[in-house]
Structure 1
């Protein structure tokens, strides 16, 4: 009797495939629906409009210009550079960097429980989308002496996208509108 080297390999492959939930050598016939049951139809997949790269995303439509022209996919991709150090959910705490929830219209270096560098603690500006844009371009030159070891986001479209993404993810409510005076009676 002669054995070939291919036979044991075929047996190992079949066992591995069966062990991983792979192809069943004899698939069971689908059960016929009873007279009382309607045949199962797959649920329709909601249509998600594909947005071409560089096109504005509907998620950002309510943001102020120019952030309403940003691309969500670009913002989400760029955010991946930040998410190992920052969280965005309210009350989620801090990581290596402070939690960014509510960052817009918040004074710099004021997140409770985060130890800021002396250079950043000495600053007094409020975070706006424009300030964040300058910060993200190059944190080391924006506030020299800060401890953020990130080298920055060089491409303007990437900064625009990640700022728009953060506006959506961190509870941005826009600039506070001046109070209107009540009409005199």
Structure 2
């Protein structure tokens, strides 16, 4: 009897709806999951708990509050154009405190996308940034992108170290007032 040859299945794109339980080194459990519209209130509330320096490092300048339009876009990303993942308490969206947010947005008409990550000081230094970066890189690769990039302040040592650990290349931005661009080739 002749054996049938099995074809290897192509690798599946990451499930954008997956929720992953993550145990932090300090013992806390968080859920790494796609953002949900119900997260708007908890994200706005968590923003108020951030230090001025955390906000400046993420937004590259001082921001007092999240604009309602920005917040609405953040919690309801266009599925083919944007992806947002959060690290939140293991509770339903709307009830869970959100401690970290990562997003990626396609650059119109190109094969590249901009990313941004904010991990609050309440959960910083526990590997969440790297896990979230992995998720947005998976999304970018599944969407056929060739390049992922982000602008980072030169004094944001944690983000620059994360980018370097993942393989991003660092470029100075002339006239940017202390910013560097980190770029990851996805080919």
Given the two structures, how large is their TM-score scaled by the length of structure 2? 0.23
The structure carrying a bigger strand percent of its residues is 2
Structure showing greater relative contact order (alpha-carbon pairs closer than 8 Å, 6 or more residues apart) = 1
| Structure possessing the higher radius of gyration over alpha carbons | 1
